Amino acid sequence: MKTLYFECNMGAAGDMLLGALYELCDRKEDFLRDMNAAFAPYGVKLTAEPSVKCGIRGTHMHILIHGREENTRWPEGHEHGSAEPADAHADGNAHVHTHGEAHTHKHATYRSVLETIGELALPDAVKKNARAIYEQIGNAEAKVHGQTLEQIHFHEVGTIDALVDVAGCAYLLYLIAPDEIISSPVHVGSGFVQCAHGVLPVPAPATAELLKGIPFYTGSVAGELCTPTGAAILKHFVSHFGPIPPLAASSIGYGMGTRDFSIANCVRAFFGEKTDLPSDANREGETDEDGFPFDDCVLSISCGLDDMTGEAIGLATEILLDAGALDVYTIPLQMKKNRPGVLLTCLCKPEDRDKFTALFFLHTTTRGVRYQLFERAKLESTVETRHTSYGDIRVKRSSGYGIEKEKAEFEDLKSIVMKHHYSISLDDIRGSAARPASFPKQREP
């Protein structure tokens, strides 16, 4: 199966996805020729330029409109999407507002964007995907602003260079023709971003709406790393999000952003064939196409505490566990003003972020929490009850990655020890529940 995997450790923007896909395409000249011909009526010139970030060489897709860069790209180097209620422009046409010489905001209606896509000299499948992506953006903008799809006006995502990003990604995927597209969870950045309507938190509201159902996380990088265009492209094309599957990559593409960070500012794309799992890992319920079906992502929420008693922290731990946390633990640490404290950490499902954040603020003294999203490899686990001379003992069996292991439930072992007035050991009871013959021998190297 030809698989494409996007690594979005520094977010996703239209130009970055475009650059990564361009590097994977073996028909680069045809792509540039067709794109420039399709957008010639709009004065577009699309070129692929070498770019280096943190010593890594990749491609930045450069777009000129009538020989100049469109000014709707903000200084951060990514487009920022927002929509404006249609009643601000009663005639329903596209508008241009100039605010001095430094900034030009172009507004386009949803219908005018679809008309422009329909006129492009590109394959019908490409235009169909481009329209679907803009429908997703439009629905997100309409939801955020309380308008209908036909009422909204696009600002930055309605500009020609944003449309080039969308159509270009759709065309490159048409040429590359992967059987499956997967992506990592998306790093969205942190802080605030300047948009057409003012200063908004990261991720911007429309981007957050588009990211529904997609695992994403914030981090220490200040700024907007995932844009509405990037989020919509991923949402439309990606079948699922998670760790990279076993993949024999034939090509790797680096799509570069414009800003410089201490981390290479790029989207990395891997393209190749999925590899087979080890034969003893192909257990019931698992297939080569599934990869490792029990792997997933977990969200870590943590805060430092130096003004709570041990009793109160213990209660907070119980509350988090009772609310469905996957795990809760504390680590001693030295805090400011030489105060001993603890780091309280809760592991939960990414979709439960808001619920557990609220519990942190309600039941601890913290004024802020930190998030980290971790990819997690898991063995498949089942519990069976075994009948022994000492009584029934529950045993957890786990398998995957070519590994099998089992462990008797400690509470059952403890109960039997106490029942026999401590006259037998844990090892004796544990041995009675073991099934050594049930485990296959490891293959010789």
Question: What is the tally of structural domains in the chain?
Answer: 3
Is residue 443, in this structure, part of any structural domain at all?
no
Q: What are the tokens at 197?
A: 């309507």
pLDDT in tens, the chain (445 residues): 899 999 999 999 999 999 999 999 999 999 999 999 999 999 999 999 999 999 999 999 999 998 887 543 333 333 333 333 333 333 333 333 333 333 344 457 888 899 999 999 999 999 999 999 999 999 998 998 888 777 776 654 447 888 999 999 999 999 999 999 999 999 999 998 887 668 889 999 999 999 999 999 988 888 999 999 999 999 999 999 988 888 899 999 999 999 999 899 999 999 999 876 544 444 444 444 444 666 778 999 999 999 999 999 999 999 999 999 999 999 999 998 889 999 999 999 988 999 999 999 999 999 999 999 888 888 888 888 888 888 899 999 888 888 889 999 999 999 999 998 888 898 888 888 886 544 443 434 3
Domain extent, residue 326, equals: 296-376
Is residue 290, in this structure, part of any structural domain at all?
no
Q: How far is it, in rounded angstroms, from Cα 115 to Cα 117?
A: 5
The two counts, helices (H) then strands (E), for the chain are 11, 24
Closest CA to 274 of 248, 252, 251, 293: 248
Closest CA to 88 of 152, 131, 39, 179: 152
Instruction: Tell me: do 325 and 222 sit in the same domain.
Output: no
Looking at 376, 391, 413, which one is the last position of a domain? Answer: 376
User: What pLDDT does residue 292 have?
Assistant: 60
Q: How many CA atoms lie within 13 A of 188 on its CB side?
A: 30
Instruction: Tell me: do 386 and 371 sit in the same domain.
Output: no
Instruction: Tell me: do 118 and 137 sit in the same domain.
Output: yes
pTM over 0.85: no
Instruction: Tell me: do 370 and 386 sit in the same domain.
Output: no
Instruction: Tell me: do 156 and 301 sit in the same domain.
Output: no
Is residue 60, in this structure, part of any structural domain at all?
yes
Is residue 90, in this structure, part of any structural domain at all?
yes
Is residue 14, in this structure, part of any structural domain at all?
yes
| CATH code of the domain containing 371 | 3.30.70.1380
Q: What are the tokens at 351?
A: 């979709």
CB 17 within 8 A of CB 227: no
User: What pLDDT does residue 377 have?
Assistant: 85
Q: How far is it, in rounded angstroms, from Cα 141 to Cα 148?
A: 9
Instruction: Tell me: do 234 and 132 sit in the same domain.
Output: yes
Instruction: Tell me: do 133 and 242 sit in the same domain.
Output: yes
Q: How far is it, in rounded angstroms, from Cα 6 to Cα 21?
A: 10
User: What pLDDT does residue 107 have?
Assistant: 54
Instruction: Tell me: do 259 and 389 sit in the same domain.
Output: no
Instruction: Tell me: do 391 and 243 sit in the same domain.
Output: no
HEC assignment per residue over the chain: CEEEEEECCCCECHHHHHHHHHHHCCCHHHHHHHHHHHCHHHCEEEEEEEEEECCEEEEEEEEEECCECCCCCCCCCCCCCCEECHHHCCCCCCEEEEECCCEEEEEEEHHHHHHHHHHCCCCHHHHHHHHHHHHHHHHHHHHHHCCCCCCCEECHHHCHHHHHHHHHHHHHHHHHCCCEEEECCEECEECEEEECCEEEECCCHHHHHHCCCCCEECCCCEEECECHHHHHHHHHHCCEECCCCCEEEEEEEEEECCCCCCCCCEEEEEEEEECCCCHHHCCCCCCCCCCCCCCEEEEEEEEEECCCCHHHHHHHHHHHHHCCCCEEEEEEEEEHHHEEEEEEEEEECHHHHHHHHHHHHHHCCCCCCEEEEEEECCCEEEEEEEEECCEEEEEEEEEECCEEEEEECHHHHHHHHHHCCCCCCHHHHHHHHCCHHHCCCCCCC
Is residue 287, in this structure, part of any structural domain at all?
no
Strands 223-224 and 216-217 turn out to be unpaired
Looking at 216, 243, 274, which one is the last position of a domain? Answer: 274
Instruction: Tell me: do 51 and 106 sit in the same domain.
Output: yes
User: What pLDDT does residue 434 have?
Assistant: 81
Q: What are the tokens at 112?
A: 């005018």
Instruction: Tell me: do 83 and 204 sit in the same domain.
Output: yes
Looking at 376, 396, 413, which one is the last position of a domain? Answer: 376
Instruction: Tell me: do 120 and 172 sit in the same domain.
Output: yes
Is residue 289, in this structure, part of any structural domain at all?
no
Closest CA to 44 of 167, 143, 211: 167
Is residue 280, in this structure, part of any structural domain at all?
no
